[in-house]
Homo-oligomer: A and B are copies of this chain.
Amino acid sequence: MLEINAAAIAEMDKIYRLNLINSITGYKSAQLIGTQNNAGATNLAVFSSVIHLGSNPPLIGFILRPTTVPRHTFANLKETGVFTLNHISAPHIEDAHHTSAKYPEDVSEFDQTQFTPIHKAGWKAPYVAEAPIQIGCRYLNEYHISENDTRLVVGQMEQLYLEEQLLGEDGWVQLDKGNIIAINGLDGYALPKLLARYPYARPKKD
């Protein structure tokens, strides 16, 4: 096996290290986060750092990098208190990736891609019509990660929308039925297929 130590990582070219470190930690979920400001101007951006924090209450978190450049998503969700998570299916990966381009604040990524904003139940953030799973979240809190000046944003899921065929009898959502993708590093999009699902694990008997 190849071995790469801490000194080698520290001395790497910046882009090489970005590629390596972002991909070596494994597959990540991919969501489009939809927001708007109080004037109704929308924003859409791909995130690969959304994590499950707990199921009761239903909490998620995601990581924001240092706010040294404008972060429209964060500014909007602080203004309205809400945001949406929208899963990406295989036919839409190129458009999803394009939402990471740095557009000025007055340009909506909805206008630069084929994604269609939809508004539901008075929620002050746009959902993505093409997403097989759409989740309305409320901002709860944020934690500053002092080691690298990032922040963990914590949100509560309040509204779930999903294609009926994805939902099993026991509440489990089978993601590959919606052709939902995962991210490999910063820019690789992969389509998973279910191999197996196992029952709750119990210790083996002697």
Residues on A lying within 8 angstroms of B by beta carbon are: 1-6, 9-10, 12, 14-31, 48-61, 63, 65, 85, 87, 90, 93-94, 97-103, 107, 112, 133-135, 140-141, 143, 145-148, 150, 152, 154, 156-164, 167-168, 170-176, 180-182, 184-185, 187-204
Give min CB distance, A25 to chain B, whole Å: 5
Report which residue of A49, A187, A196 has the largest number of chain B beta carbons within 10 angstroms of its beta carbon.
A196
Partner of A171, one of B15, B49, B204: B15
List the number of copies, as a whole number. Answer: 2
Asked if B198 and A190 make an inter-chain contact with CB atoms under 8 angstroms apart, the answer reads no
**Given contacts A94-B196, A143-B145, A198-B94, A19 and B170 within 8 Å (CB-CB):** yes
Complex-state Cα separation, A12 to B58, whole angstroms: 12
**Given contacts A9-B160, A27-B180, A103-B203, A56 and B14 within 8 Å (CB-CB):** yes
Give min CB distance, A66 to chain B, whole Å: 9
**Given contacts A133-B24, A162-B2, A18 and B171 within 8 Å (CB-CB):** yes
**Given contacts A182-B192, A190-B195, A55 and B162 within 8 Å (CB-CB):** no
**Given contacts A29-B28, A157-B9, A17 and B171 within 8 Å (CB-CB):** yes
Give min CB distance, A89 to chain B, whole Å: 11
Asked if A185 and B203 make an inter-chain contact with CB atoms under 8 angstroms apart, the answer reads no
